[in-house]
Amino acid sequence: MKVSALAGGTGAAKLLRGLASCLAPEDLTVIGNTGDDTEVWRLHVSPDLDSVMYALAGVLDRERGWGRVNETFHCRDAMAAFGAETWFNLGDRDLATHLTRTAALRAGRSLSDVTLELTRRLGIAGLLLPMSDDPVRTRVRTPEAWLTFQEFFVRERARVKVLDVLYEGAEQARPAPRVLAAIADAELIIVCPSNPITSIGPILAVPGIREALARARARVVAVSPIVGDAAVSGPAGELMRARGLPVSPAGVASAYAPWLDALVIDAKDARYVDELATLGIAAVLADIVMTDAHTEVALARHVLAAA
Ligand code: GDP
């Protein structure tokens, strides 16, 4: 079965690892969020693409959920000694990714082109596509200022009040090559358990992608990043509230309702089944919290069965 998945970072990485072990590797195409891309020490960093890439290559640090396993931070410490800002942690092995990507982009190559090269060199047979080769940048408005996503998430540890979120550059952005075809040609489309506002939101903000999802012949199945009234991890709840969405599986459903066929929700959240049905979305009950390789594969199987 040819599967295309919309993905953010940490939650997506876990489900994708599970899916990769259930599918022929070349049958998985991932459309990744670049709204939280940033520059660190003049290097282009794509945190969500990298989390997915490292997960599929088997080199993601499972404990942290980001960065490479067996990582060291000597360069960061040396940069700190030179007075550089070091709140965004770049590991030594991870730096090789950002150096390679930045050099390629400066030489005029596209983000999708260099992402293909990085994934192939890491031995990934599936396709990882950035949602767009054009810059789209998520901004978070707090009572004091508009922050970049990484300033909000990493520097401020997502502890500030959020008033609004916008996707700068989205209106002018075009889907990266192969993104619309990946949606049109898929036999199943999966929306990973990712932050609906700052991971899936930027992907949907690229003109043409929402329309392609609505037209797709494949079923679209999402996994809720919310269990009960809270995110499994991270600031998705606070961001959904800022966007006027209830923090619940029903809130996730209403963010995706026009084009979503089914939402996989936690078995404890059966009380939302009827509310989802009124939105035209079938609820699939499962254990949706992934804690190890076993639960990742079990959830992946559930999602494939829901198709
Ligand atoms: P961020 O951390 O909020 O920026 O968002 P990401 O999209 O990178 O990934 C984290 C999202 O995945 C959060 O909304 C989490 O609630 C969700 N998540 C993390 N782990 C799991 C899990 O094991 N199961 C489910 N269902 N969601 C998860």
Q: Domains plus CATH for the chain?
A: 3-137+168-305 (3.40.50.10680)
Query: Long-range pairs for 296-302 at CB < 8 Å and ≥24 separation?
Result: 296/14, 296/15, 296/17, 296/18, 297/18, 297/21, 297/22, 298/18, 299/15, 299/18, 299/223, 299/264, 300/15, 300/18, 300/19, 300/21, 300/22, 301/18, 301/22, 302/264
What pLDDT sits at residue 35?
A: 98
Q: Which tens digit of pLDDT belongs to each residue from 19-55?
A: 999 999 999 999 999 999 999 999 999 999 999 999 9
Is residue 81 over pLDDT 90? yes
Is residue 257 over pLDDT 90? yes
Is residue 230 over pLDDT 90? yes
**Nearest C-alpha to atom 27 of ligand 1 is from which residue?**
225
Is residue 245 over pLDDT 90? yes
User: What percent of the chain is modeled with pLDDT above 70?
Assistant: 100
What pLDDT sits at residue 111?
A: 98
Mean pLDDT to the nearest integer, 113-133: 98
- Mean model confidence pLDDT for the chain: 97
Using CA atoms, how far apart are residues 155 and 164, in angstroms rounded to an integer? 18
pLDDT bin (cut points 50, 70, 90) of residue 92 is very high
Q: Which tens digit of pLDDT belongs to each residue from 212-229?
A: 999 999 999 999 999 999
233, 297, 302: residue to mutate for ligand 1 pocket, most atoms within 8 A of CB: 233
Q: Which tens digit of pLDDT belongs to each residue from 278-295?
A: 999 999 999 999 999 999
Q: How far is the CA of 299 from the centre of ligand 1 (A)?
A: 14
**Nearest C-alpha to atom 5 of ligand 1 is from which residue?**
195
Is residue 268 over pLDDT 90? yes
pLDDT bin (cut points 50, 70, 90) of residue 151 is very high
**Nearest C-alpha to atom 20 of ligand 1 is from which residue?**
11
Atom from ligand 1 closest to the CA of residue 8: 7
What pLDDT sits at residue 307?
A: 85
Query: Which residues sit with their C-beta closer than 6 Å to ligand 1?
Result: 8-11, 14, 153, 193-195, 198-199, 223-225, 231-236, 288-290
Using CA atoms, how far apart are residues 54 and 118, in angstroms rounded to an integer? 10
